[in-house]
């Protein structure tokens, strides 16, 4: 399997796409979102716009579903059948050996991809380490501990945690202490979203060697 990370989140709108854009730019990686639900602005277009990277840094999504719903239901309404094995084959065929692959999940770990498979089980099949994105606000301790527990129960390697939002040192420490998972850094509230701002945020809040 390709060298890289699966970027997933503890909840909806926790900042997965922002983290994915920042890491794709900082690591000069290849971004892939296999399943896109909702097409107002698809995430690969967002990440391309936010990073300014050329098209060679992006792999096309394999399923573009029209409604912003759980993939299993969005696919049903569009008359589409998601083939999880084909996603794995596509990933294997498109390995970019000189680049890290950053795969953004469609929603959280327990989102159904089909009526028979959860996203967390698809991630396990890929045998790639996970970067878990979590908020710093109220409720994040519960959501993050549950997500980490689910990953550990399936033997999925967790590369680390990335927090998104205002600084909350006690919350960060509490989650780290209970999970034993490395905190890679925090994406602060950004006043604008540009490649220069992303580079500054990464340099100030993360260490390049943590993603080697």
Residue 182 annotated in active site: no
Write out the two tokens for 205. Answer: 């809040």
Residue 37 contacts by C-beta under 8 Å, 6 or more apart in sequence?
Answer: 65, 67, 68, 69, 70, 71, 74, 106, 107
Residue-wise DSSP of 6-64 = EEEESSTTSSHHHHHHHHHHHHT-EEE-SEEE--SS-HHHHHHHHH---GGGEEPPSEE
Single out the catalytic residue among 33, 124, 199, 207. Answer: 33
* Residues carrying an active site annotation: 33
């Amino acid at each position: 399997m390709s060298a890289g990370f699966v970027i997933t989140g503890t909840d909806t709108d926790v900042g997965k796409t922002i983290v994915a854009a920042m890491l794709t730019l900082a690591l000069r990686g290849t971004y892939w979102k296999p399943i896109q639900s909702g097409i107002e602005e698809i995430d690969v277009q967002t990440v391309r716009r936010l990073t300014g990277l050329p098209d060679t840094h992006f792999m096309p999504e394999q399923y573009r579903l029209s409604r912003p719903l759980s993939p299993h239901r969005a696919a049903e309404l569009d008359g589409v059948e998601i083939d999880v094995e084909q996603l794995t084959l596509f990933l294997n065929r498109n390995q970019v050996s000189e680049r890290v692959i950053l795969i953004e999940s469609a929603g959280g770990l327990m989102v159904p991809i089909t009526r028979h498979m959860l996203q967390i089980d698809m991630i396990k099949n890929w045998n790639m380490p996970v970067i878990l994105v979590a908020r710093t606000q109220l409720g994040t301790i519960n959501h993050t501990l549950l997500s980490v527990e689910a990953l550990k129960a399936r033997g999925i390697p967790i590369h680390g945690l990335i927090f998104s939002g205002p600084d909350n040192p006690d919350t960060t420490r509490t989650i780290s202490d209970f999970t034993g998972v490395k905190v890679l850094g925090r994406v602060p509230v950004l006043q604008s979203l540009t490649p220069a701002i992303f580079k500054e945020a990464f340099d100030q809040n993360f260490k390049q060697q943590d993603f080697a």
